[in-house]
Amino acid sequence: MCRHLGWLGDPVSVAALMLDPPSGLLVQSYAPRRQKHGLMNADGWGVGFYADTDEAGVVPRRWRSAAPLWGDVSFASVAPVLRSRCVVAAVRSASAGMPIEASASAPFTDGAWLLSHNGLVDTAVLPPARHAESTNDSALLAALIFDRGLDALGATIAAVAADDPNARLNILAANGSRLLATTWGDTLSLLRRPDGVVLASEPYDDDPAWQEIPDRHLVDVVDMHVTLTPLKGP
């Protein structure tokens, strides 16, 4: 129901990840190539990143909107000068009945973490969560994951899937020095570049180095090292 992207590596501009690639998130907002559910992602967008010069420490900074990414000229003018070693970005296709508001757009945050959800989950199976940023399924799921801790991400996803067998639970999370992701019902691709690692719902170009991550896996990226772990569930 969405498309998302994560970066970990040398500092790059947000525009180089989201706007400049021929099939980047900008294009995926109106013409995704591998999206299985929905035709476009026009119900909002968001980006979170970490500033190397931030005196407050590892604090994620966010820019989110309920409008389509293609219509935000202010972001397009600023994105080339926003640079970071770690980025999480997403464009949104809202699930039926869910609110369309900036606070419902990923990435969500708790402490140092940023988190995006690509998929769908029945909110009735989610326990009451503290500090949810919105009432949509992705925000409630993010709050549950934050409550249980990112080190338990795989177990949390398997437990939610057991309660909702139709759920699609692709998660992408980062804390400035680590990328975590799950594949559960939707696509995820990996690109190892000389300057860093990209995880994305779908490739943003036709580079043959893109690798598809198998379904029901946990991906952990630290210091350019990528670990894949199968997820067990129903």
Q: Which positions are catalytic?
A: 2
Q: Is the dihedral of CA 145, 148, 151, 157 positive or negative?
A: negative
DSSP letter string over 165-206?
TT-EEEEEEE-SS-EEEEESSS--EEEEETTEEEEESS-SS-
Q: Where are the alpha helices (DSSP H) in the chain?
A: 14-18, 25-28, 73-78, 137-148, 153-163
Q: Could you tell me the two tokens for 183?
A: 């594949």
Q: What is the CA radius of gyration of the chain?
A: 16
Burial class (CB in 10 A: 0-12, 13-18, 19+), 102: middle
Beta strand 45-49 with 108-110 is unpaired
